[in-house]
């Protein structure tokens, strides 16, 4: 006589399988999500390498505006010569190049990069952090002293990567107000010793100010210090990008 499972036994087996499946489901979901994040990071690193090659060959980064007017671009300009194809992130969205921020990113699982949804964005930097790397005093009148007799001396601020444009008197004044001149005996804001109206941008990475105060600093002894959380040549309407690293004292040296 053949024996089979009773209805109660089948229900018990099904219940056990359901419990096991329910217990395993979060682990499976976590694994799937981690796999997607890993895939996005791999894609972003490949795009970052393509951007480095693009900048070497073209002398600049892709045009902005194809995604919006805030310095954002998609990766379509890299396809063909720099990428085989424009990849889509694991959640079905385009990868975004933030030229001002120096990053390329995925919008993440929520497919949004608005200010209150950026917590799940996945970012990879393709430019070095924006920082003040060297400061030079130029003795334009060859007097041997920091002054503005006959011809204004100049102070050159050199940065790690390209600065945002356009350069305007307003945003240069805003930036100079965020830098402290650290003297041996005192401190002063950069804007108090230079003319922001005469500021110029040289070669995309160097800002030159004309000095309008005698004995404003001593080259070789005094330093400049970028204060925390101040914008660098960037409109305050988009304050979440293009910050300069702060708290790093840079000695003022003669050219």
Closest among 171, 166, 187 to 231, alpha carbons compared: 171
Q: Which of 125, 148, 183 is the last residue before a domain boundary? A: 125
Residues 137 and 232 in one domain: yes
Residues 137 and 249 in one domain: yes
3-class DSSP state for residue 41? helix
* Beta strand pairing call for 103-106 and 122-125: antiparallel
How many domains are there within the chain? 2
For each of the chain's 255 residues, which pLDDT tens digit applies? 556 667 777 777 788 877 777 776 776 667 678 888 899 999 999 999 998 888 888 877 776 655 444 567 888 888 888 888 888 899 999 898 887 778 889 988 888 877 666 788 898 888 887 788 999 999 998 999 999 988 999 999 998 877 765 455 566 676 777 788 888 778 888 888 888 888 888 877 888 999 999 988 889 899 988 877 555 544 444 444 456 778 888 999 998
Q: What is the pTM of this model?
A: 0.65
Q: Decide if 67 is inside a domain.
A: yes
Cα distance between residue 208 and residue 155, in whole Å: 6
- What distance lies between CA 136 and its chain's CA centroid? 25
Count CB atoms within 10 A of the CB of residue 156: 18
Structure-token match 């210090």, residue found: 225
Q: Find the helix or strand (DSSP H, E) in which 2 lies.
A: none
């Amino acid at each position: 006589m053949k024996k089979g499972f009773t209805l109660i036994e089948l229900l018990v087996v099904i219940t056990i399988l359901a419990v096991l499946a329910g217990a395993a489901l979060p682990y499976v979901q976590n694994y799937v999500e981690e796999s997607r994040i890993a895939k996005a990071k791999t894609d972003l690193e490949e795009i970052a390498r393509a951007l480095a090659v693009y900048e070497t060959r073209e002398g600049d980064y892709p045009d902005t505006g194809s995604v919006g007017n805030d310095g954002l671009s998609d990766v379509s300009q890299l396809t063909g010569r720099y990428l085989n194809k424009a990849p889509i992130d694991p959640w079905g969205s385009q990868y975004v190049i933030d030229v001002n921020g120096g990053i390329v990113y995925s919008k993440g699982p929520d497919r949004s990069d608005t200010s209150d949804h950026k917590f799940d964005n996945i970012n990879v930097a393709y430019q070095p952090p924006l920082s003040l790397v060297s400061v030079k005093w130029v003795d334009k009148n060859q007097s041997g002293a920091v002054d503005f007799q006959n011809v204004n001396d100049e102070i050159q601020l050199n940065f790690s990567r390209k600065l945002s444009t356009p350069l305007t008197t307003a945003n240069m004044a805003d930036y100079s107000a965020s830098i402290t001149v650290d003297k041996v005996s005192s401190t002063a804001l950069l804007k108090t010793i230079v003319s922001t109206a005469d500021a110029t941008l040289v070669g995309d990475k160097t800002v030159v100010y004309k000095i309008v105060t005698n004995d404003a600093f001593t080259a070789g002894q005094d330093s400049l210090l970028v204060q925390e959380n101040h914008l660098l040549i960037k409109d305050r309407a988009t304050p979440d990008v293009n910050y300069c690293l702060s708290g790093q004292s840079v000695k003022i040296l003669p050219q």
